[in-house]
Amino acid sequence: MAESTLDRTDLLLLAQLQRNGRLTNAELAERVHLSPSACLRRVQRMERDGIIAGYRAEVDAERLGLGLQAFVRVQLSRHDAEAVAAFARFVNEWDEVVACHALTGDMDYLLQVVVRDLDHFSRFLLDRLLGQSGVADVNSSFVLRTVKAFGGMPLPQ
């Protein structure tokens, strides 16, 4: 479904679901002024079309004992398909990496890493990341404070 086929009501539904994905269909319908059946049809259509890609719980990392977050920029020594695929496989196996983005510029990847503490980060960096053949350079920045956390995708006006 193209962005232009989302009407104002669809956008209101998405905004509400991004704020609280646990709303019941009846609550959601009331908030966007639809009947429950019309609301359910719209949500199911957006799920089927892949606009709503899924639902998940937002977990507090610190309450899980994961008190240190870092952004790690990685440069690979080789950029052939095999090296890139191998790096992607490894990254997807590491629980500490909660997001990984391929970049333009002087570094190839940006990893968002969440760990217990500096010792855990050090083990992750030395034993996993730097232990991978193909990693040429790594540059880490630790999060001091989160000014704005991910709160959902910006929706068209």
Domain parsing of the chain, residue ranges: 7-48, 62-142
Q: Do 102 and 132 contact (CB within 8 A), yes or no?
A: no
Using DSSP's 3-state secondary structure scheme, residue 7 falls into: coil
* pLDDT for position 131: 86
* pLDDT for position 3: 47
Residue positions counted in the chain: 157
* pLDDT for position 4: 52
* pLDDT for position 50: 96
Q: Please provide residue 9's backbone torsions phi and psi, each rounded to the nearest 5 degrees.
A: -65, -40
CATH 1.10.1240.10 is right for the domain spanning 7-48: no
- Provide CATH code, domain 62-142: 3.30.70.920
**Section 44-69 average pLDDT:** 96
Taking residue 70's Cβ as centre, other Cβ atoms within 10 Å add up to: 18
Q: Across 13-131, where does the E strand assignment appear?
A: 68-76, 97-102, 109-115
Q: pTM of the full predicted structure? A: 0.87
* pLDDT for position 132: 82
**Section 81-110 average pLDDT:** 96
